[in-house]
Amino acid sequence: AGPREYAWLGALTNGPVGVRDAVLGATVTSPGGVEALRAALVGAPECYRDGLTAVTAATVYVRGHSSELAHELVDRVDPTGPHARLAGLVRASLNMGLDPRGLQRAIAAADRDADDFYRSSPTPSRATRVLDAHPPVKPDVSRNRNPGVGR
C-alpha cells in the first residue's frame, strides 16, 4: 500500500460516521487492522489524521493491544472535532478498565450482520429490472396537475 491507499483509508475514516464505523468494524475484525491503520497514520495527509487516530485508538483498545498506546492516541484526537465522541468512548472504557473482549465480540457480530445485509440486498441489476417493470409516473405538468395526488 502507498500514499493513495492511505489517503483513501483516511478519507473513509473522516467521512460519514456510518462509514467510519464500518472501517472500525473491519479493522477490529481483521488480524492486520492495527498495522494497516498504523501505516495509514504515518502515510496519509494531515487532513485525515484525526479520523484515522480515533479509529486506530478504538481498534488498538478493542483488539486488546497496549492501553498506553490507546490512551496516547485518544489524547491526539481534536476534543471539539467530529471524532471526539469516539475518542471519549475509548477514553472512558480505558479509564473504567473495561475488558474489550465483549466489545470485540459485539463489533464482530455487527460486522457480520452488515455483511449479511449487504449480500441480501438487491443488486443494481435486480433493482433496475424492478424499475423497468414498474417505472415511476411522471406528473402531468401541462395543466399544473399531478395525477394521482390526493386521490
Tell me the per-residue pLDDT of 83-102, one tens digit each, with 9 for 90 and over: 999 999 999 999 999 888 88
Q: Is 104 exposed, middle or buried, given 0-12, 13-18 or 19+ CB atoms closer than 10 A?
A: middle
Cα–Cα distance for residue pair 135/139, rounded to 1 Å: 13
The answer to whether the CB of 107 falls within 8 A of the CB of 101 is no
> What is the dihedral angle through the alpha carbons of 87, 89, 95, 96, rounded to the nearest 10 degrees?
-170
pLDDT band at 18 (very low <50, low <70, confident <90, very high): confident
Q: What is the pTM of this model?
A: 0.72
Position 130 pLDDT exceeds 90: no
pLDDT at 74: 96
DSSP run (H or E) holding 118: helix 100-120
Position 106 pLDDT exceeds 90: no
Q: What are phi and psi of 38, to 5 degrees?
A: -60, -45
Question: Is 117 or 44 the better-scoring residue by pLDDT?
Answer: 44
Return the axis-axis angle of helices 49-62 and 17-29, rounded to nearest 10°. 40
Position 118 pLDDT exceeds 70: no
